[in-house]
Amino acid sequence: MDAIKHWLTRGGYGSLLILAVLLLVVFPLAMDLFRLNLVGKYLTYGFVAIGLVMLWGYGGVLSLGQGVFFGLGGYAMAMFLKLEASDPESTKIQSTPGIPDFMDWNQLTELPWWWEPFNSLPFALFAVVAVPTLLAFIIGYAMFKRRVGGVYFAIITQAVALILTVLIIGQQGYTGGVNGMTDLRTLLGWDIRTDEAKYTLYFVTVFLLLGSIMLCRWIQLSKLGTLLLAMRDKEDRVRFSGYDVSMFKVFAFCLAAALSAIGGAMFTLQVGFMSPSFVGIVPSIEMVIFAAVGGRMSLVGAVYGALLVNFGKTYFSESFPDLWLFLMAALFISVVMAFPNGLAGLYESHVKPWLTRRKAAPATTPEPPAPGAETTANIASPTSSGTASPTSKISISTKVSSQSA
């Protein structure tokens, strides 16, 4: 019993368990399929947010271009689904049957060679993770080896997001352009639009997300995680200790990219299309906000952040179609002003002490807080630096201004 308790607190798995119960039991029972499908969609942003916790919260590297990897993962999946939806029978109305409809509209008469491999699902799944990771490796290697970091790195990632958007929109014969890839139907003959499919995909998303959190948790608890933290707080000291700092950063960047890409692929499957509107600068900054609202040091917090912001977006825009942008802005501003460490920080500073007090109250002799509780506090926000870093404020104010523009 104690061993289990220790495992739960030591690894911070208690909060993960609560999240798992919420996602696997409470939501499916409490919501109709439409809302559940929306939650599934929000959770795909959760992948990006936990990637950012590893990269930004732990590695100290702020990327404002995670939409690139989300988009690439999503597009890789969409390409496979689009090819399957474009069999000669259902595209016989086109001048060239058997190729995706947007190619036909753009006067392409055969499938481009680099589309061919996407006829195979294993290749597509491989590409979902491999292509974004490879791109992250190239960008990361080029930047971090030259010790480009901080704001400069953030700006370069934004530039990448912009470049990729322009590329996708410009090469519409190959990518579907501004419309994106729409009308995706089946995965190996399995209709992804049915109710059962939506349930299945929701649970697949949840399990992948929980698995990703556990993987990241494992990394955080390992020596690697400690090194990432050390690097964030005193980079030079780690470098002088003989570690190759740049490769650790590259690793964190690739990890965040791979996680985002999985999120993107699950997004495509659940929503049934992919468009360049996820790749650009604004969505990329939005993704940073999910992590900021949830608490950039907390993996579970980041998922709650993604859920809360998107719930807010849906709820406000449904209930107050004329005012919802202002309400979202108010939410972001109040997060930054009132609890700069996000939801997880709020928990640490307010809920936790209250819980400890309550626990201590019935006991006749006040005991010092259990050592386990302290450990959890540290894990949920190790070396929480008190205030949000300047970068987090910058990103949020950028977002607010772009929304009100």
Question: Rule CB under 8 A: is residue 305 a binding residue for another protein?
Answer: no
The 332-371 site mask, x for binding another protein (CB under 8 A), equals ----------------------------------------
Q: What are phi and psi of 186, to 5 degrees?
A: -130, 155
Encoded one letter per residue, x for contact with another protein by CB under 8 A and - for no contact, window 57-76 reads --------------------
Sign of the torsion formed by the C-alpha atoms of 125, 129, 130 and 132: positive
Closest to another protein by CB, 313 vs 352, is 313
| 277 touches 284 (CB < 8 A) | no
Integer Cα distance of 53 and 59 in angstroms: 8
Least Å distance between CB 226 and another protein? 39
Q: Which stretch binds another protein (CB under 8 A): 4-12, 59-67, 127-135, 272-280?
A: 272-280
Amino acid at 369: P
Q: In degrees rounded to 5, what are phi and psi of residue 341?
A: -95, 15
Give per-residue burial for 306-335: e unless 16+ CB within 10 Å, then b: bbbbbebbbebeeeeeeebeeebbebbeeb
At 397, which helix (H) or strand (E)? helix 390-404
Total residues contacting another protein by CB under 8 A comes to 38
- H-assigned helices in 150-279: 150-170, 172-175, 195-221, 223-233, 235-240, 245-271
Choose the binding region for another protein from 2-10, 177-185, 214-222, 353-361 (rule: CB under 8 A): 177-185
Q: Does residue 109 touch another protein according to CB under 8 A?
A: no
Q: Of 233, 375, 245, 302, which Cα lies nearest the Cα of 66? A: 302
Q: Please give the residues from 141 up to 170 whose contact with another protein meets the rule CB under 8 A.
A: 166, 169-170
Q: Does 272 bind another protein (CB under 8 A)?
A: yes
- Are 158 and 64 spatial neighbours (Cβ–Cβ below 8 Å)? yes
Q: Which of 20, 22, 90, 105 binds another protein (CB under 8 A)?
A: 105
* Ramachandran quadrant class, 387 (left: phi over 0; alpha: psi -120 to 50; beta: rest): beta
Length of the chain counted residue by residue: 405
The piece of 4-12, 173-181, 345-353, 378-386 that touches another protein (CB under 8 A) is 173-181
* Of 20, 22, 24, 38, the one binding another protein by CB under 8 A: 38
Q: Output the smallest distance, CB 177 to another protein, in A.
A: 5
Interface map 180-209 toward another protein (x if CB under 8 A): x-xxxx-------x----------------
Yes or no: say if 43 and 265 are a contact pair by the CB < 8 Å rule: no
Nearest alpha carbon to residue 404 among 312, 340, 330: 330
Least distance CB 310 / another protein (angstroms): 10
- CB of 37 or CB of 375, closer to another protein: 37
Taking the least distance from each CB to another protein, the nearer of 163 and 360 is: 163
93 belongs to the binding site for another protein (CB under 8 A): yes
Contact positions vs another protein (CB under 8 A):
32-34, 37-38, 41, 93, 95, 102, 105-107, 166, 169-170, 172, 177-180, 182-185, 193, 271-273, 275, 277-278, 314, 317-318, 321-322, 324-325
